[in-house]
Amino acid sequence: MRKLKIAAAQMGPLHKADTKTAATKRLVELLRESHAMGAKFVVFPELAFTTFFPRWWMEDQEEVDRRYFESTLPSKETAPLFEEAKKLGIGFYIGYAELTPEKRRFNAAVLVAPNGGIVGKYRKIHLPGHADHKPEAAFQHLEKKYFEVGDLGFRVWRFMDTITGMLICNDRRWPEAFRVLALQGAEIVALGFNTPTENLHYPEPPALRVHHHLIMAQSMAFQNASWLIETAKCGFEDGFRMFGHSLIVAPTGEIAAKSQTEEDEVIAFNCDIDLAANLKKTMFNFAAHRRPEHYRLIVERTGAEVTPAN
The set of catalytic residues is 46, 124, 169
Render 159-207 in DSSP notation, one character per residue.
Answer: ETTEEEEEEEGGGGG-HHHHHHHHTTT-SEEEEEE--BSS-SSS---HH
Angle between helices 206-223 and 175-182 (to 10 degrees): 20
**Minimum distance from residue 109 beta carbon to ligand CDV (Å):** 12
Residue 170 vs 226, nearer CB to ligand CDV: 170
Task: Figure out which of the listed residues 41, 53, 68, 193 binds ligand CDV, where binding follows CB under 6 A.
Answer: 193
Stretches 14-22, 31-39, 92-100, 189-197: which one binds ligand CDV (CB under 6 A)?
A: 189-197
Q: Does 170 bind ligand CDV (CB under 6 A)?
A: yes
Q: Does 34 bind ligand CDV (CB under 6 A)?
A: no
Helix (H, G, I), strand (E, B) or coil at 271: strand
**Gap between the Cα atoms of 47 and 51, Å rounded:** 8
Task: Figure out which of the listed residues 50, 162, 195, 246 binds ligand CDV, where binding follows CB under 6 A.
Answer: 195
Q: In degrees to the nearest 10, what's the CA dihedral of 228, 125, 55, 235?
A: 0
Residue 196 vs 251, nearer CB to ligand CDV: 196
Under rule CB under 6 A, how many of the chain's residues touch ligand CDV?
A: 10
**Gap between the Cα atoms of 252 and 284, Å rounded:** 11
**Minimum distance from residue 36 beta carbon to ligand CDV (Å):** 29
Q: Does 169 bind ligand CDV (CB under 6 A)?
A: yes
Q: Does 141 bind ligand CDV (CB under 6 A)?
A: yes
Task: Figure out which of the listed residues 114, 128, 185, 253 binds ligand CDV, where binding follows CB under 6 A.
Answer: 128
Q: Does 231 bind ligand CDV (CB under 6 A)?
A: no
Parallel/antiparallel/unpaired status of strands 105-112 and 188-193: unpaired
Nearest alpha carbon to residue 44 among 144, 161, 194: 194
What is the amino acid identity at position 101? Answer: P
Task: Give the footprint of ligand CDV on this chain (CB under 6 A).
Answer: 46, 128-129, 141, 169-170, 173, 193-195
